[in-house]
Structure 1
Amino acid sequence: MARRIVVRGKVQGVFYRAWTMETAQSLGITGWVRNRDDGTVELLAMGNADAVNELIHHLHEGPPAARVDSVEVEEATAEPLDHFEKRPTL
């Protein structure tokens, strides 16, 4: 399963990407996360459906300093990655 996710709210400057990496890695998910110039955080999550859905559930809360207003999820094409990484701002 592969999903492209955009998280809106106070999600930059609050360790949201680092928290996402740790959470995704603990669930065995591959993919990437990056900040976007518009203040959102975007990620690609790939793995078994239960793990990806659990990550999506956690993304609605985020780390303690974050405020999540919305989480948009759409189907995505898988990329050939064997880990979860941070990418530069888009």
Structure 2
Amino acid sequence: MTEDVRMTAWVRGSVQQVGFRWWTRSRALEIGLLGYASNLGDGRVQVVAEGSREQCDELLHLLRHGDTPGRVDGVTEIWGKPEGGYEGFAIR
């Protein structure tokens, strides 16, 4: 059994006002992750996902290489221990 992780990713590019958070939520729910996606004031989208390392890696790959709305110029991520408290995957 694999231990769950928390991935926080910051997505740069043309990712606000194009349906990117909704797309991310749909992919995360398909994968089985918990967490949220939110717009940041500097134009980035922050994605916080909790689940297995494999599930989070799958979402990270989609954020970088998937057919996303808008345009992704880059993704930076950090890994940590899950904090819990999420019910599903939210848009914030």
| TM-score > 0.5 by shorter chain | yes
What is the aligned residue count? Answer: 87
The one-letter code sitting in structure 2 at the alignment partner of 1:82 is E
> Considering only aligned residues, what root-mean-square deviation do their CA atoms show, in Å?
1.4
Runs of 4+ in structure 1 over 2 Å off? 61-65, 76-79
Show the counterpart of 1:56.
60
Q: Pairwise mapping of residues 1-90 of structure 1 onto structure 2 (< 5 A)?
A: 1-79=5-83, 80-87=85-92
Which of the two has greater strand per residue?
2
Q: TM-score by structure 2 length?
A: 0.86
Q: TM-score by structure 1 length?
A: 0.88
Runs of 5+ consecutive residues of structure 2 not aligned to the other structure: none
Change (3 A) 1:65 1:25: closer
State the identity %: 34
Measure how far apart 1:47 and its partner are.
0.3
Runs of 5+ consecutive residues of structure 1 not aligned to the other structure: none
| Partner SS, residue 13 of structure 1 | coil
